[in-house]
Amino acid sequence: MTKMQDAQNRLRETVKDLFAQQKVDLVVGFEAGSLPLRTRVCFLTSADEADRLVWNAFCTNNPAVYIPRLFQRPASPREEYKPPKLGIVAKACDARAVHKLLEEHQAPRENVTIIGMPCRGMACRDKVVIQAGDEVVEAVESTEGAVEIKTRGGASHRFELQDLLQQACLDCPQAAPEHVDVQIEGASRRDTTRRYEGLKNFEAMSADQRWEYFRHELSKCIRCYACRQVCPTCYCKTCFADMAKPRWTGAGDGLSDVMFYHIGRLMHQAGRCVECDACTRACPVGIDLKTFTRKLGKDVERLFDYVPGLRPDEAPLLCAFEDDDTEEFVTDG
Amino acid sequence: MSGGATTSPYLPSAVTIEKITIENEAKDLRTFRLAFCEEADAAAFSHACGQFAILSVAGAGESPIGIASSPLDSGYVEFTVKRYPTGVVTTALHAMEEGDQIGLRGPYGNAFPMRALEGKNIVIVGGGFAFTTLRATIRWILHEQNRARYGNVTVIYGARSPGELLYKDELKGWEARSDIDMFVTVDKGDEGWTGREGFVPTVLQEVAPSADNAVVLVCGPPIMLKFTMPPLLQLGFSPETIITSLERRMTCGLGKCGRCNVGNKYVCKDGPVFTFKEIQALPEGAL
Amino acid sequence: MVFLCNWCATLAAELAGSNRLAYPAGVRVVKVPCAGRINPLHLLRALQNGADGILVFGCHPGDCHYAKGNLLARRRLSVLKGLLEAVGMEPARLQFSWVTASEGSRFATLLDRAVQDVRTLGPNRKFVKNPAAAG
Amino acid sequence: MEKGIIGKSELAKLVEAMAADATCLGPVKDGQDTVLAELGPDTELSFDYANFRLPVKRLFFPQSEVTCVLRDGQLVALPPPDEKTVLFGVRPCDAQALPYLTKIFSDEKYEDPYYLKRRENAVIVSLACHTPCSTCFCTSLGGSPAGRAGCDILAFDLGHELLLEAETEKGKALLAAHEALFAAPTDAQVTAAAEQGAAAEASMAKIETDGITEKADQAFDAPLWEEIAARCVACGVCTYLCPTCHCFGFADEQVGNRTQRVKCQDACMFPLFTLEASGHNPRTTQGQRLRQRIMHKFSYTVKNVGEIFCVGCGRCVLYCPVNIDLREIIEEVRK
């Protein structure tokens, strides 16, 4: 039995306990998906369902995206507000998103039980397909740190998970989720030294090259806003991009409007983006959004020593200031 | 269509606002009397009672509005528009003045089957500002060339308060006539109000119009429609003889943009007029 | 495009004006109640609508009429500037500075310098929305 | 001319010849993806792709286009672009969707010139798939990896050369116009192509779709919609990537001193799609919206224009960020 499966069994037992102790009445976790290299988020309401839960290298989605919705108050004040007692299965990035949402009052702290998962990082689907060189039709995490796949053409491959990790996982600042309510034991990734390595190429570019890269990536955008919809920290009731009064953005998919949306969204993610890369995975046209969110994260960390979601109860970045905040861009006469 | 070589069904014709009437105390209901700028457009426009058109304010957008004037009102078309604080187009329209130019395309949708209703008694039940297309219909029926074609005409019309009643002068004129029975009601009267008080469904039960050889045209907010159907059925109106008009958000008005459907019916093209029987067959709780 | 806080920079601008210092040609002024009122989207919108450069004036730290608007703006705009530079905008196109009501000449100097910077860079072609483009 | 053989190495010549009076688009590598991009004389064509991420519908029904502009206080309609195009390498599923869209954008009363003009001006050269993906299910919906519906020419990749078979007069005319570049196919080549198509078809898993319309109607009030939609994040990827989804809206905007009206793709998965100015929204839950999308495809369009508006391209299956799988929904509905 692999370590991940150990963790999976422990997770199932823990969830059963949580239901039995009535600490939760709803658990958001992962279940088997319909496609190889995928799992999907599931919503469990009783201990009987706990055996649906899976834990493997394909639990890429960030389940925190469902929190604002699950805790939404009813439209009519006459209706009783019955928030769930939620258990949420969380990787490090998921837990950071949960903390961010708690900090922003999207759910009462006492109603959320964070089930911290041991995480060695998740497999990047694109990397698997590139390495396999063909469509993957079956994938299992077989032994510790390895992924075995079969391709459409009938070939079998075994890859080290380490070589398949998503950029988000390579950049992850945490060896394991922190400030959780229940910690599931298991092997975790320990290497947190490669943070922002993925940015090196981008940062090495000249301003004109960066512009060209940005322009090329954004020229693919069809303005479906999937990046916003899958983002756990994009939950505004009416996004600035959807507002009619004032109408911030133009309607077209021309570059200027597309950039307006993306830079506007990035601004709103400053000090909030937990770098889970849900946006990048969801983008149907494959825009490299992660480079820009990561650049933002790096700036925020450098300028304000602020990493979103690491410290519960910290003040939101842009709703606070320090007297000695950076003045590096203030011009002086 | 005016405006150059390209024929586009999305291009509105230019119209001038000839007259603006503020209809209610809250001043958020205004009737716009529009006249086509081009004679060809005027000649091409012909509508029937119950149809709608799409008003267009360049820079703000378009909004589908029921036609409030009768097809026999020649030289102009009227629309009564409610301004919503969140409504970009209705707000822009309300900011316009007489003499300003806007756009209009249509008419769209089906209509009340006025020809088929000839020889029948007509009961008209309206609530709030959904009364607009019913007003068009009353004007049509009362026109001297039409009045004889229809039997008794009974109108039950309600608004929240006296100040919210539309077409106040016209209502008075109708009340003075002997060939139409008017029952105007408000949810709650004020000091000057000497008329009827009560919700439309209640007044309907009091008036109890006969279902004999009669059809009922009913338009109002969803909640009123919901509470009006049971008494109508009780009075003996069969679902085929209850005719109403649905509202949905629309964009194209042509049955293409996929927005206003209820089941497989497009409110813009297959409606907005449906019999209660047709509505019962639609999914989604169409009312 | 110059954004002026109503409490300091507007007065500084008037002072500069009363000293017969004129705005450089091509400068558009937007008065805001406080630098903290400026939504980064306003600045993006300005760039989109053809502004070649933006200069924001706020009160010196400690002088804000609303206690902390200028300091919130400082954080917000440093993030925005970082982003815009990251995607290849020339740094001089977005400038931020402190001024008090009495600093008419400082206001004029900073403004002149910003205008010079932007003139050197030429028109902003990257962010502007081209009316000829579809959509 | 009905059939022609052309070597892949000769394609550049064909593109150059066609480019004299048409814009040619074809499959080109862009990073890891293959996109349908404009071809120049030196552009290298890609034959190694499953399908484009974006459906070909976007070339006829773009994400956004200006339909009217304000001139002298009056809105005037902009004409649809009037340029000839040749689209090479379209997959048969995307081509199959085009006649469906034509039914929507033209009817007895109103025609959308923006879609119809573009379609009229385009020659579609489909390229048969020889290795369909595991997420493809075109054969379950009347299509085929070598399907001919909606294309003007169907091409088969025979290794070093392509076999082109004209389906329509437009297709025949195109082949005839460049006759010199084509050789007559041998019987063996024609047979090889047919066998390739049959083999590809046989390799595909089938899902049952019999009676889907009636079953969907019956399932209208079933709890399955809300159950499936619990996961849905309303991103609309399924609609934007769908070759047959055609909902749109208008938005007015000001660009500089120009006021224009833009026709934009829109999606029934968004809460704002049906929100009325009064605040009333006939579809308040994501389950209702998801149901709308499925019912629209499998029931309403069948009743209104006689077609199931799904060609089994599998994009919604593959790209749904939360793994909502249309194939599973069809199965659920049929239960």
Do the bridges between strand A330-331 and strand A182-183 make them parallel or antiparallel, or are there none, so unpaired?
A: unpaired
Helices A289-304 and A207-218: crossing angle, nearest 10°? 130
Do the bridges between strand B153-159 and strand B121-127 make them parallel or antiparallel, or are there none, so unpaired?
A: parallel
Percent pLDDT > 90 in chain B is 74
Q: From chain C, pick out residues whose CB is under 8 angstroms from the CB of A251.
A: 135
Euclidean distance between CA atoms D113 and D116, whole angstroms: 5
Euclidean distance between CA atoms D83 and B180, whole angstroms: 61
Q: How many Cβ contacts (< 8 angstroms) between chains B and D?
A: 133
Q: Which CATH number belongs to the domain containing residue C95 in this structure?
A: 3.40.50
Q: Is the pLDDT of residue B53 over 60?
A: yes
Q: pLDDT band at A238, cuts 50/70/90?
A: confident
Contact C134, D64 (CB under 8 A): yes
- D7: β partners: D161
Q: What is the pTM of this model?
A: 0.90
Q: How many Cβ contacts (< 8 angstroms) between chains A and D?
A: 100
Is there a domain that residue C102 lies in? Answer: yes
Mean pLDDT, rounded, for D119-139:
94
Closest to D332 in 3D by CA, of D208, D237, D234, D204: D208
Ranges A244-248, C124-128, D190-194: which has the least confidence: A244-248
Contact B98, B17 (CB under 8 A): yes
Helices A255-269 and C40-48: crossing angle, nearest 10°? 170
Q: Is the pLDDT of residue C131 over 70?
A: no
Euclidean distance between CA atoms B107 and B66, whole angstroms: 9
Q: Is the pLDDT of residue A138 over 90?
A: no
Structure token pair of residue A260: 């307006």
Same domain? D131 vs D245: no
Number of domains into which chain C is organized: 1
Same domain? D157 vs D253: no
Same domain? D156 vs D219: no
Q: Do C134 and D258 touch (CB under 8 A)?
A: no
Q: Is the pLDDT of residue C15 over 80?
A: no
Residue of A215, A242, A259, A323 best to disrupt the C interface, most CBs of C under 10 A: A259
- A87: β partners: A27, A113
- The pLDDT of residue D293 is 94
- The pLDDT of residue A4 is 64
Q: From chain A, pick out residues whose CB is under 8 angstroms from the CB of D54.
A: 222, 284-285
Do the bridges between strand B196-197 and strand B181-186 make them parallel or antiparallel, or are there none, so unpaired?
A: parallel
Nearest CA in chain B to D292: B263
Same domain? D29 vs D174: yes
Q: Is the pLDDT of residue C2 over 80?
A: no
**CA terminus-to-terminus distance, chain B:** 34
* Cα of A60 to nearest chain D Cα, Å: 10
Percent pLDDT > 90 in chain D is 80
Q: What is the pLDDT of residues A36-85, one digit of tens each?
A: 999 999 999 999 999 999 999 999 999 999 999 999 988 888 888 999 99
Show which of D153, D182, D202 is a domain's final residue.
D202
Mean pLDDT, rounded, for B60-85:
93
Q: How many CB atoms lie within 10 A of CB D184?
A: 9
- Chain A stretch 195-234, residues whose beta carbon is closer than 8 A to a beta carbon of chain C: 207-212, 214-215
- Residue B2, CA distances (Å) to B13, B33, B43, D261 in order: 6, 20, 12, 17
Euclidean distance between CA atoms D96 and D51, whole angstroms: 14
Euclidean distance between CA atoms D175 and B152, whole angstroms: 71
Print the domain residue range for C73.
2-124
What interface predicted TM-score (ipTM) does this complex get?
0.88
D264 lies within 8 A of chain B by CB: no
Is there a domain that residue D181 lies in? Answer: yes
Sequence-ordered alpha helix ranges (H) in C1-135? 9-18, 40-48, 69-86, 104-121
- The pLDDT of residue D250 is 92
D62, D258, D262: residue with CB nearest C131: D258
Q: What is the pLDDT of residues B236-258, one digit of tens each?
A: 999 999 999 988 888 888 888 88
Q: Which residues contact A264 (CB under 8 A, 6 or more apart)?
A: A240, A241, A248, A249, C40, C41, C44
Q: pLDDT band at B104, cuts 50/70/90?
A: very high
Residue A131's φ and ψ, nearest 5 degrees, are -65, -35
Q: Is the pLDDT of residue A320 over 80?
A: no
Domains of chain B, each with CATH number or no CATH = 13-108 (2.40.30.10), 121-245 (3.40.50.80)
Contact A87, A14 (CB under 8 A): no
Mean pLDDT, rounded, for A220-226:
92
Q: Is the pLDDT of residue D212 over 80?
A: yes
* Cα of D224 to nearest chain B Cα, Å: 15
- The pLDDT of residue C9 is 72
Show which of D155, D173, D202 is a domain's final residue.
D202
- The pLDDT of residue B192 is 87
Is there a domain that residue C135 lies in? Answer: no
Q: pLDDT band at D13, cuts 50/70/90?
A: very high
Number of domains into which chain D is organized: 2
Ranges A182-191, B36-45, B187-196, B205-214: which has the least confidence: A182-191
Same domain? D130 vs D218: no
A237 lies within 8 A of chain B by CB: no
Show which of D182, D202, D222 is a domain's final residue.
D202
- The pLDDT of residue C5 is 67
Q: What is the pLDDT of residues A80-127, one digit of tens each?
A: 899 999 999 999 999 999 999 999 999 999 999 999 999 889 999 999
Structure token pair of residue D293: 């999308």
Print the domain residue range for D15.
3-202
Structure token pair of residue B31: 């009737």
Q: Is the pLDDT of residue B287 over 90?
A: no
Contact D308, D212 (CB under 8 A): yes
Mean pLDDT, rounded, for A169-186:
89
Mean pLDDT over each residue of chain A, to the nearest integer: 89
Q: pLDDT band at B5, cuts 50/70/90?
A: very low
Same domain? D287 vs D228: yes
D53, D252, D264: residue with CB nearest A284: D53
Residue of A219, A273, A330 best to disrupt the C interface, most CBs of C under 10 A: A330
Euclidean distance between CA atoms B180 and B123, whole angstroms: 10
Is there a domain that residue C129 lies in? Answer: no
Percent pLDDT > 70 in chain B is 97
Structure token pair of residue C83: 């982003």
- The pLDDT of residue A198 is 87
Ranges B43-57, B144-158, C52-66, D214-228: which has the least confidence: C52-66
Structure token pair of residue B118: 């000839």
Is there a domain that residue C134 lies in? Answer: no
Q: Is the pLDDT of residue B4 over 60?
A: no
- Residue D120, CA distances (Å) to C118, D37, D78 in order: 48, 20, 18
Euclidean distance between CA atoms B66 and B51, whole angstroms: 6
- The pLDDT of residue A66 is 97
- The pLDDT of residue B3 is 37
Q: Is the pLDDT of residue A333 over 60?
A: no
Q: How many contiguous H segments (helices) and E segments (strands) does chain A have?
A: 11, 9
Contact B279, B246 (CB under 8 A): yes
Half-sphere exposure of A230 (CA within 13 A, CB side): 26
Is there a domain that residue D207 lies in? Answer: no
- D36: β partners: D27
Q: Is the pLDDT of residue C134 over 60?
A: no
SS3 assignment, position B280: helix
Structure token pair of residue B194: 């000497």
Q: Do C84 and A210 touch (CB under 8 A)?
A: no
Residue that is written with structure tokens 């609530």 in the block? B127
Mean pLDDT over each residue of chain B, to the nearest integer: 91
Residues shown for chain C: 135
Residue type for position B264: N
Mean pLDDT, rounded, for B131-160:
94
Which secondary-structure segment (H or E) carries D6? strand D3-7
Q: Is the pLDDT of residue B2 over 50?
A: no
Is there a domain that residue C27 lies in? Answer: yes
E strands in B222-287: 242-245, 261-262, 265-266, 273-275
Is there a domain that residue C133 lies in? Answer: no
Distance of CA D256 to the CA centre of its chain: 34
Half-sphere exposure of C25 (CA within 13 A, CB side): 1
Same domain? D44 vs D185: yes
Q: Is the pLDDT of residue D114 over 60?
A: yes
